[in-house]
Structure formats: structure tokens, C-alpha cells
Amino acid sequence: MSPYLAEFIGTALLVILGNGVVANVVLERTKGQGGGWIVITAGWGFAVFVGAFCAAPISGAHINPAVTLAMACTGQLPWAQAPGYIGAQLAGGIVGGSLVYFFYREHFKLSADADAKLACFATAPNIRHLPQAFFCEVLGTFVLILPIFLMTQPSMKFPVGAVTSDVGVGLGTIGLIPVALLVFAIGLSLGGTTGYAINPARDLGPRLAHAFLPIPGKRNSGWGYAWVPVAGPLVGALLAVAARKVLI
């Protein structure tokens, strides 16, 4: 399997399980309706683990353009491969978001809240103040990527892919569990403002799916905000790279 296909599959699984838990909580007449924020954040943590675990042996399990940017900036991924990684991640997000819709299609029909329907695909701030939302996405992604650097050895080829042959001493296959717990912690602590996209492909891919899918009673896809969960994580990744140079 090529690393690009692995990134596509890993990101699709991430979105199917992550956006799937949102749909299970916010749509009408699901078994998980009203499950609350703890269910959503736990579901996203598990989604990261599953998607990354599947892709790790082949691609290093970036499943996030912000991670790919950070790995390329630190020389742990050739720049020539970065566009392919990011394209595969975006395609995985589109496919994953589409499959969530088809899985919960009957519940989308029964749900009247157009904002809740969009939430099954993409993020939005609870208070619409774009500079503040941008800051939140920058900091959330910084808190994702810097600990990934700190939890791994600088010489590791693929810091996120903790089941590759290049794993640092002592990590073993448990290396992906800290990353999943990290995402869980970010959701619990920093997710209440913007919904913690911290991943451009996780937000933009499903948002594109929302735009073209025949979802009954849907609203616009929130394109006035869509740049925030793309640009914010990329800036956060660059700041984490800068911090890494100082700390490691």
C-alpha cells in the first residue's frame, strides 16, 4: 500500500468515527441523542487512535495537514511528498463525511436543526468572533503538535506513527495511545469555543461534502468561517515547529 492511500484510509476512518459520534449525539432519534460533550470528545479521541493505528505502519499516520506541514518543516517528511499526503487527507475527509451522511441519512431527514446538521460535518464557533476563533485554533493545534514532538525522540522518522520500525525506545505500539489521549484532553479543555478542528482536512473535507450532498433542510456550509479551521491549525503547526527548535 502506498503512503498516500494509507493517509486517505486513515483520514476517512478518522472522520467516519469522529463526525459519526457528533451525528449520533446531535441528530434526532439516534441511540446516542443528547449524549453530550464528553461522548463527542471521547469519540474523537478513539477516532484518532483507530485512524492513526491503521495508517501508522505505512505513512506514519499524519492524517492531518498540520502534522504533515510540521513533519516537512522538521525534515521528517520530504517536501515532495507533502502535497500528496495533504491531497489524500482532504479526499479522505470528503469520503468520510459523505459516508457519515449516508449512514445517518434517515436521521438527517427527521432533524430540523440546520446548524446541528452542519455540525455533523464541520466546526463553528459558539461565539462568532473570528480573531478569537483563529487564536483558539492556533493554540489548540500548537498543544497538539508540540507534545507529539516532546513525546517522541527527535531522530524518529515518523513521530505519530508509533508502530513503525523507526519508533523510539519505550514507545512501542502504545505510542498512539498518548496521542489519542492528547486529542481527548484538547477536546475537554480547549474544545468549547470552536469545536477544536485542529485539522484542516477534518474540517474542510467534510464541509465540502456538506456543500454538495443532497441533505434535506441544510443551511449554507459556513464558508465565511471555513478559513479559520484551515489557517489556524497550519499557523499552530509552524509555531510548534519553532518551539521544537528551541526545546529539542
pLDDT one-digit tens code per residue, 217-242: 999 999 999 999 999 999 999 999 99
CA dist 108 and 196 (Å) reads: 23
- Angle between helix 200-212 and 82-103 (nearest 10): 50
CA dist 5 and 85 (Å) reads: 9
Picking from 55, 1, 26, 22, the residue whose alpha carbon sits closest to that of residue 203 is: 22
- Total-model pTM: 0.92
- pLDDT number for residue 175: 73
Q: How would you write the pLDDT of the chain (248 residues) with one tens digit per residue?
A: 899 999 999 999 999 999 999 999 999 999 999 999 999 999 999 999 999 999 999 999 999 999 999 999 999 999 999 999 999 999 999 999 999 999 999 999 999 999 999 999 999 999 999 999 999 999 999 999 999 998 875 444 444 443 332 322 233 345 789 999 999 999 999 999 999 999 999 999 999 999 999 999 999 999 999 999 999 999 999 999 999 999 87
pLDDT tens digits for range 176-232:
899 999 999 999 999 999 999 999 999 999 999 999 999 999 999 999 999 999 999
CATH number of residue 204's parent domain = 1.20.1080.10
Per the structure, the complete domain to which residue 128 belongs is given by: 3-247
CA dist 70 and 207 (Å) reads: 24
Count up the domains in the chain and report the number: 1
CA dist 157 and 211 (Å) reads: 37
> Over the chain, what HEC string results?
CCHHHHHHHHHHHHHHHHHHHHHHHHCCCCCCCCCCHHHHHHHHHHHHHHHHHHHHHHHCCCCCHHHHHHHHHCCCCCHHHHHHHHHHHHHHHHHHHHHHHHHCHHHHHHCCCHHHHHHCCCCCCCCCCHHHHHHHHHHHHHHHHHHHHHCCCCCCCCCCCCCCCCCCCCCHHHHHHHHHHHHHHHHHHHCCCCCCCCCHHHHHHHHHHHHHCCCCCCCCCCCCCCCHHHHHHHHHHHHHHHHHHHHC
Residue with cell 481527548: 184
